[in-house]
Structure 1
Amino acid sequence: MSERGEAALRFNILGPLEAWSGTTRLRLGGAIQERVLTTLLLEPGRVVPVGRLVQAAWDDDPPATAPHQIRKAVADLRRRLPRGDQVIVTDGPGYRAVPAEGELDLTEFAGHLRDAGRAASAGSPREAVEELSRALALWRGPVMADTGSAVIQAAGTTLDERRLAAAEQLFELRLGLGEAAGLIGDLRDLIAQKPLRETLRGHLMLALYRTGRQAEALEEYQKVRELLLEELGVDPGPRLGELHAAILREAPELAAPGLRLPSAPAAPGAPAPGRAEPPCTLPYDLSDFTGRKQELDALVDCIKGGGEQGGRHSRIVAIDGMGGSGKTTLAVRAAHQVAADFPDGQLHLDLRGFTPGESPVSPATALDALLRAVGTPGDRIPDDLQGRTALWRSTLAQRRLLLLVDNALDVGQVLPLLPASHGCLVLVTSRARLVDLDGAEWFSIGPMSHEDSMLLIEEVLGAARVVAEPAATAELVRLCGRLPLALRIVAARLRNRPRWTVEYLVDRLRDETRRLEELSAGERSVAASLRLSYQIMDEEHRVAFRILGLRPGADIDVYAAAALLGTGRRDAELVLERLLDVHLLQQPAIGLYRFHDLVHNFAQSQCGPDSAQDDIEAVLRLLDYYLTTTETACELLFSGRRRRSTGIPAYRGDQPVFTDAADADGWFGREHANLVAAISLAHRRGLDRHTVCLTRNVVFRLNARGQFKEFRDVGRIAVEAARRLGDVALLGVSLSNLGVACWKLGHFDEGLVVATEARDVAVRLRDQHTEAHGESTIGLLLTVLGRHPEALVHLERAITLERELDIPRAEAETLTNLSTLYAQWGRCEEAATAARQALELHRGFDYRDNHVMALTDLAFAHIGLGQYEDAHQRLEQARALCDSSSPPGDVALALALSAWVAECMGRPAPAAGFARRALELARVSGSPTRQAKVENLIGEFCRRRGEYEKALSLHAHAHELATAISYRAEQARALNGMADAAETLGDTALALEYRAAAAELFDAMGCPVPLVEDRLRA
């Protein structure tokens, strides 16, 4: 009972939500009330905005009356809870939960963890063990189990990570106290829940070893190694490997009760022996960083857990402020100062949230870059955001890594990037405070103090010149608005102009302020400072600065700059380096230059009616450069490709020299974003012929690299531009290419429409090349729709045209399409004949990607004919042709079939590896048609190995993919596979249902169950 005679109030959220008044459990109402209360209790004492509560209650699909319903839910909770108006208080834009001491299990949990940390630091391990045991005893299960929203589940995941970290610390302390046998059962239970936690596995190995069970300890290492290879394709970390090696040699130090496990490094910041150098992509820390001492000290203190934080380590620290206030510079300085505390790496990522003319970086793209930075191979990175998020968080588990996320637009960009590990730090910068970034410690910065501004000028300019003109320097600081960007620009001007006095520059600045009085507040003061830098440049550099601001994409190299400026490469480099010296450009890498977003915005503002003609000529030169260079690159990369007249004169300026196809592919990769942006720029400016012709070149590589969504997007732009241009020939080519993108993405209906129009346009123009391509695409689309007789007519027509025109590259591609049709139709002899004809043509030219598919198609036919040795040889040849630049979907198909052949020939070890790799590549291929086919093949492979549950899951997902895109052949294969798996698992009724549906589809396609299918099930 309380002092007032009231029953004690108690909230439990470490498990299913409970609210108690004494011994009486309180009824809280419905799911909305429970989610609102849980969200508030997850952040006791902090204001939770109504918008955040709406998201917690309904995820991303709230009703129109959601804010009103939240307020009703809060009012209802206050009525149901004793002292409800004191427990839930209104505060500004939201509500706060204010539970008293002892009323919330989460607060107790955190308190026990703090006490455990103090005890451990004070050398009292037994006391720390008691505190950790009390903390873990509070847990009753997952937060809200399966009834919470995505917001609550995310918070629950973070809390569960704290629970696991506490459990790991508890086991480590108990091992250090000499315990072993009594830990084994609890460790096994926890590992069953979290089988990939290497630290837990290391504790179990040590406990087993100390109880005389060395063989079992070594077996645990093998278990986790196999699991990591199966799930993530990686080996155990070096620390667990060291423990394994120590157990193998029966190292005497393992028997010591006070052993410090290899899970902790011997010295802070020192990498374990043999460990790869941790990644560091932090920008250069300014050697003349000046001022901001108070902000920097507070920031570092917060990161390290000092001050008012009471020893708590902040996982998220965010800095907001206006553009030009020095957010990034401050964050970079802080990151370098604390880098030693994060020995597993320090990463920087620009999200481009406020970059003019560019789209913000999507979370999926950001995660791709981060995963690659920590060493994840590109082919192991999932295609979907959820998969990348999960892999990112599992990769960082138990690591201590610093991530600087710069220039964020909104919380949606940042949330998927947050690690689950409390050993990591995330620094975020944004122009606006991201109020929904829960758990962040915020620092808002404005202009520098007058004293710091004077120090910055002195540091850059030199004390002598400041002492000589103190009043003028103070006036210079005032006129620059005490913004770091503006101060550095004017100081650099003075340093590079030793004959100028400070007063002279102040006079110039006064002139600018008078002309730009409307830019006296906010970012407008930054614009005034930039305008000053612009005006004091000579005319040549002012023009160059403005013209360079026209470039699309993020970065620019010397060749693209030369095209814009109408100069040679070396002259362009001199201009770029000059602008770099005065900080109007940045240099992210040698040979590349980039505008800061504010500077780029200012450069664009200088374009007006007077410069319109010069600007359009500059853009035309850049597009001419990209068009000519992509033509050259395509000739090297795509042998046998037909060269079409563009009607645009070739660019005669400096261009990169490609010595071989690898050079051309590397250039395409570096310029990828700029090329796509150039297509958009051309389209916006109404340069339709450039839009269409540049798109034709770019989509060749997009197709080869499996970037089908971008292929479709730019393909649609090209079609629109061709229609606007009124060039029917270019329209036919653009439609034909768009039809291919639609096939790759499974947009068969749209694909048929555009491919048919492309064919019809070509017939009218008597353009037999485009007609043949259109007929081949139509045939392929009809094949996947199961309309085999119609497909055959179109494919045979395409082959006839291609032979008449003597275009073997196109003929080989159509022959592989024909082979696919015959195999799907069950006509394996004819499938083999078509594939052999394609391979014979490949003797005369290099078209690797189609060569791989022709070999794979022939292997399919061999399997259908029972010729496994022949299939094995063809697949060996196909795999030998593949490398990292091959389309992942095509490689996945070859590997999936290789798995089958290896299994049938009694080679299970390579078969399993082929199957795993095939699934990984299929899921990142971007092509649902390839993924459905590969998952069906691996499903059949798993059935042969007796893995019926896994087979059923793969076939079911393949059926889902195939159904969504009307891929009837793979729908039928999936249903057949599901029937076989279900029957083996004892569900005869479901198996009959699946088999009947499959038979109906095969009948509708006019073919029996394919012979290939019969062979695979044999």
Structure 2
Amino acid sequence: MEFRVLGTVQVLDGGQAVPVASRRQEQLLALLVCRAGRAVTTETLIDELWPERAGPATGKNLQVLVHRLRRTLGDPGRVVLDRSGYRLRAQVQEVDAWHFTDLAEHGQSALRRHDAAGAADLLGRALALWRGPAFSGLTEVGALADAAALLERQRRQALTARMDAEMALGRHAEIVPEAAALLAEDPLDEPVAARLMTALHHSGQRKEALEVYRRTRAVLVRELGVEPGPQLRGLEQAILRGDAEIGPPRRPAEAPGLLPPAVPDLTGREAELDRLSEILAGRRAGPPVPCVISGMPGVGKSALAVRAAHDHLASFPDGQLYINLRGAGARPVPPHDALARFLRALGVSGASIPESTDERAEVYRARLSGKRVLVVLDDAADEGQVEPLIPAGAGCAVLITSRAALTALPGAYRLALGVLGEDEAVRLLSTITGRPFADADADGADRLAALCGRLPLALRIAGARLAARPHWSIGRLVERLAIEHHRLDELTHGPLSVRASLALGYSGLDEPGRTLLRRLALLDTPVFACWSAAALLGVDVRAAGGILERLLDAQLVEYAGVDGIGEPRYRLHDLVRLHAKERLAADEPEGEGDAATIRLLGSYLALAEQAHRRQYGGDYTVLHGDAPRWDLDAATLDRLLADPAGWLRSERLGLLAAVDQAARLDLSETCWDLALTAVTLFEAQCHFEDWERTSETALAVAMHAGDVRGEAAMRHSLGSLDLFRQRYAAAKPHLDAAVDLFAAVGDRHGQALALRNAALIDRMSGAPDTALGRYRRALAMLREVGDRHAEAHVLGSIAQIHIDQGRTATAAPLLAQALAMYRELRDQRGAAQILNRTGAMHLGEGHAAAAEAAYREVTATARANGDLIGEAHGLLGSGEAKLMAGDLPAAGDLLDAALALATEVGEPYVTARARLAAGLLATERAEHERALGLLAAARAEFAALDMPVWRDRAGKALQALGERQADPH
């Protein structure tokens, strides 16, 4: 399969075009391509695809969109979901943008090795992949516009590199048209002008080369108010002299050159270097626009800024100024002192340097007026520190690095650095160690990069340690780093230390900031919301938000986007988390950490409890204990739980972690209450593994604590899970035990809920009368305790037994009563389940049209709520109704869709039902072989599910098929 984005978006399968069904699918596919095989978070996809309408419903929309894109591609494995988000699974050669980047990088590497012929070939093949502007027609999506711009810059770089390769091979005349076209696109691009002048000169077109200089000079003077740089001026003089060899002159000796050495092996920052190059090369008239490079400690801000500065020495012939402002420490360099240093470098004697900061800034700006100087301000504390150091005249440029984004600096361009990608991190390790990491070491290198958190400083330390110890295998260092409480000890080498870098940021925080950073180490989730910080501190959400913002400014906390309900999310880098744990152990007063954890668990329990109440209309179908809650203010509660199901989806990982933390602290009631309340999420979203794991964890804690009610609740939960999985034999002992345990502690509500589910086993196992007896006992108890939601469910189940036995007149009023109750409770999902049973009743009566209407409503409601299992039920029922009505083509389409969806979400009961219905359809069409296969498969699946009633129905259909084949008339 091929994915093409260098032009209009196209998908080819075996060379044949695959129609992409919608523009939104094209946008989704393009966004996945942008990340080069890495995962894209759901929050990012929602923000980009629905920027004006992001909210609770868009999470469901994204799930549906991904499902449809998978169906378009014909291979669900192409778009995969992991803990980080969605990603496109493809080989480099299958995606033209990835293939272009790979070929271009190899071509430029060949050029640096002086392999001009190889470079020309590789770069030519890379450029041949382009069919037009990248992501053509889709760049209204912000991320795609950025990606298209980056690819366009890479295309220009590849094109100029190919020109260099062609000129090295003596093919000067061949590149003249391309160089002229590139210069026409950007007349201020001096390096391209130099290439065109060189090519024209070596092609014998001296006059034309000098004309290029004159035109370029005129544009520079008009647009920037500056003369051409030394390279172009030197080229002009060399051409006028008729020199055979031409090249840039040296920078004047008197120009200041304060830059520290560049990092020679800067890796994984190609896109950022390209952007900085564009900024430094694309200056316009007017004051310089500062570029702020921000990021967490150790991410490589200084290395990037210094490297970019060194790459553009020729563009700043009047010098480069550099100072480390030490903004992350306790004593930042005052602007007064920084200006004195710069003035001395610019030739101002000590006696002539003014006393006041304002006067020094005036002399500094006057000295730089009309000059082309690059100023690098490293590790800035805040805007006030850097503002006096920014030149005023055109021709200068300013690079600033800071842990903060300096958002109050007017007119600045901002470049936020994150950690390296997986491949870039391994590449940096390989470069530093000098080891190629063959296949045998590839997994070890990946693991080492992950343990370093892909943080450049940590990777440099790990690589330096391996380089210093050639007898160490990569596995040995991995083993040492894998011990979490020693990891920061291991990430020290000579003057380099991750702990020292993080400690500097920690020491610069105020006391509330240090307290929050320490306590964030108590979170077991990769991302968190502000309300979690409030619980950890024991303060209101507004106060916690202010403290959290200060950590964000210090780059000790990272912004992680918004969740499915629009709530901002944050994360700690792994190494920051380890440092926070160290500070928690060293600095936290005794008992405060445990108290903070209990508040956090109490806030999860309070929110989950409220989410269930708002979704179900009360404490229906759930049991609670007396564990302490920690309540948020009413306004925050209303904001978070405006979409209760959305909050539960967003906090899934947090709820799982909370159950585990409660278990570790032996908080039995908190543990089982959280696990049981979270079933609200697990049931609706089919998170069966989460359901099982949390219930088993809580069961073990309850049994250890002798908590009989907790044990009953978790056996009820595990039995209910087995029912959902259609594992009736496994469910029975759990539910029987739950009934007895609830009775022993006098919990009528719990006993009724367990009886209700035990009755389902009787019904599915072919014992309807026993089931009716249990349902009626449960119904009486539920009415006694006032659980109207469970009461409606039981009414529907009793009605189903009457439908199965042909007593539709008895079933109808029960269904009407249940539907009215669900609608009064505003439970759309429960109402859809009753409508599903209503459709079955109409089918039993032979009323196909009425059945189809009910099932259509089931399907629509399920889709609106992102309920894929409910949608599969609706499609199945509609297909059966169409089959009854004799509309065989429509029945076939609906049953195929139901079978595909049920298979995808792992719903074996609907899968078997869909096969049975499809087998009956094939029988009607006289497709005997297909009918035989479908019906036999359905019978086997019902048998595996221990559903004898449905197994026998499939068996009767097979028998009828055999009789029909024996007597076709």
Q: Place the TM-score, normalised by the shorter chain, in its bin.
A: 0.5 to 0.7
Match of 2:211 in 1: none
Deviates more, 1:970-979 or 1:767-776: 970-979
CA distance in 2 between counterparts of 1:274 and 1:758 reads 48
Deviations 1:451-504 (A, max 9, x none): 9687547589997553899xx9xxx9xxxxxxxxxxxxx9547668959xxxxx
2:276 aligned with 1:603: no
Q: 1:775 aligns with which of 738, 747, 755?
A: 755
Paired letter, 1:595: L
Kept in 2, the 8 Å contact 1:630–1:698? The answer is: yes
2:570 aligned with 1:593: yes
CA distance in 2 between counterparts of 1:428 and 1:798 reads 65
CA distance in 1 between counterparts of 2:382 and 2:98 reads 38
Paired letter, 2:583: Q
CA distance in 1 between counterparts of 2:69 and 2:953 reads 28
Deviations 1:517-550 (A, max 9, x none): 7653499943443334334434432221111122
Change in 2 beyond 3 A, CA 1:584/1:659: closer
Paired letter, 1:391: D
2:504 aligned with 1:814: no
Give how far 1:623 is off.
1.4
SS in structure 2 at match of 1:620: helix
CA distance in 2 between counterparts of 1:569 and 1:427 reads 48
Q: How does 1:490-889 map to 2 (within 5 A)?
A: 492=379, 519-521=491-493, 525-589=497-561, 591-608=568-585, 611=588, 613-642=591-620, 646-654=625-633, 656-658=636-638, 663-824=643-804, 830-832=810-812, 834-839=814-819, 841-842=821-822, 844-885=824-865, 887-889=867-869
Change in 2 beyond 3 A, CA 1:782/1:493: farther
SS in structure 2 at match of 1:587: strand
Paired letter, 1:899: G
CA distance in 2 between counterparts of 1:524 and 1:390 reads 51
Paired letter, 2:710: L
Match of 1:377 in 2: 65
Paired letter, 2:612: C
SS in structure 1 at match of 2:525: coil
Match of 1:449 in 2: 263
Change in 2 beyond 3 A, CA 1:426/1:770: farther
Give how far 1:779 is off.
0.9
CA distance in 2 between counterparts of 1:665 and 1:497 reads 46
Deviates more, 1:716-725 or 1:936-945: 936-945
Give how far 1:714 is off.
1.8
Deviations 1:229-259 (A, max 9, x none): xxxxxx5568xxxxxxxxxxxxxxxxxxxxx
Paired letter, 1:466: I
SS in structure 2 at match of 1:741: helix
- Which entry has the higher C-alpha Rg, 1 or 2? 2
Normalised to the residue count of structure 2, the TM-score between the two structures is: 0.53
CA distance in 1 between counterparts of 2:806 and 2:88 reads 50
Q: How many residues are treated as equivalent by the alignment?
A: 596
Paired letter, 2:596: A
Deviations 1:820-846 (A, max 9, x none): 344445665555564345335446433
Paired letter, 1:867: H
Kept in 2, the 8 Å contact 1:899–1:941? The answer is: no
CA distance in 2 between counterparts of 1:539 and 1:802 reads 52
Deviates more, 1:881-890 or 1:749-758: 881-890
2:31 aligned with 1:349: no
Match of 2:445 in 1: none
Change in 2 beyond 3 A, CA 1:711/1:949: farther
Q: How does 1:830-979 map to 2 (within 5 A)?
A: 830-832=810-812, 834-839=814-819, 841-842=821-822, 844-885=824-865, 887-908=867-888, 910-979=890-959
Match of 2:476 in 1: none
CA distance in 2 between counterparts of 1:809 and 1:915 reads 31
Q: How does 1:130-279 map to 2 (within 5 A)?
A: 276-277=26-27
Kept in 2, the 8 Å contact 1:896–1:938? The answer is: no
Give how far 1:708 is off.
2.7
Kept in 2, the 8 Å contact 1:279–1:373? The answer is: no
Change in 2 beyond 3 A, CA 1:549/1:871: same
Percent identical residues: 24
Deviations 1:267-324 (A, max 9, x none): xxxxxx9995466659xxxxxxxxxxxxxxxxxxxxxxxxxxxxxxxxxxxxxxxxxx
Change in 2 beyond 3 A, CA 1:808/1:652: closer
Normalised to the residue count of structure 1, the TM-score between the two structures is: 0.51
Kept in 2, the 8 Å contact 1:776–1:795? The answer is: yes
CA distance in 2 between counterparts of 1:978 and 1:420 reads 49
Kept in 1, the 8 Å contact 2:856–2:874? The answer is: no
Give how far 1:800 is off.
3.1
Paired letter, 2:263: S
CA distance in 1 between counterparts of 2:551 and 2:815 reads 57
SS in structure 2 at match of 1:607: helix
Kept in 2, the 8 Å contact 1:779–1:790? The answer is: yes
Kept in 1, the 8 Å contact 2:506–2:514? The answer is: yes
**Structure 1: gaps spanning 5 or more residues:** 1-160, 166-195, 203-227, 229-234, 239-272, 283-341, 353-370, 397-402, 430-446, 477-489, 500-504, 510-514, 989-1018
CA distance in 1 between counterparts of 2:883 and 2:500 reads 71
Give how far 1:637 is off.
0.8
CA distance in 2 between counterparts of 1:528 and 1:852 reads 59
SS in structure 1 at match of 2:877: helix
Kept in 2, the 8 Å contact 1:379–1:920? The answer is: no
Change in 2 beyond 3 A, CA 1:902/1:278: closer
SS in structure 2 at match of 1:634: helix
SS in structure 2 at match of 1:737: helix
Paired letter, 2:572: F
2:150 aligned with 1:466: no
Kept in 2, the 8 Å contact 1:380–1:920? The answer is: no
Give how far 1:908 is off.
4.9
Deviations 1:675-712 (A, max 9, x none): 22222222223222221112222111221233333222
CA distance in 1 between counterparts of 2:78 and 2:740 reads 52
Change in 2 beyond 3 A, CA 1:619/1:895: same
Give how far 1:790 is off.
3.1
Give how far 1:378 is off.
4.8
SS in structure 2 at match of 1:449: coil
CA distance in 2 between counterparts of 1:873 and 1:423 reads 47
Q: How does 1:403-482 map to 2 (within 5 A)?
A: 418=91, 421=94, 423=96, 425=98, 449=263, 455-456=303-304, 464=321, 466=323
CA distance in 1 between counterparts of 2:871 and 2:521 reads 41
Give how far 1:746 is off.
2.3
Give how far 1:861 is off.
2.6
CA distance in 2 between counterparts of 1:566 and 1:428 reads 50
CA distance in 2 between counterparts of 1:496 and 1:685 reads 46
SS in structure 2 at match of 1:349: coil
Paired letter, 2:794: T
Give how far 1:788 is off.
3.4
Change in 2 beyond 3 A, CA 1:947/1:900: farther
Paired letter, 1:598: L
CA distance in 2 between counterparts of 1:468 and 1:839 reads 69
Paired letter, 2:681: R
Give how far 1:752 is off.
1.0
Deviates more, 1:737-746 or 1:918-927: 918-927
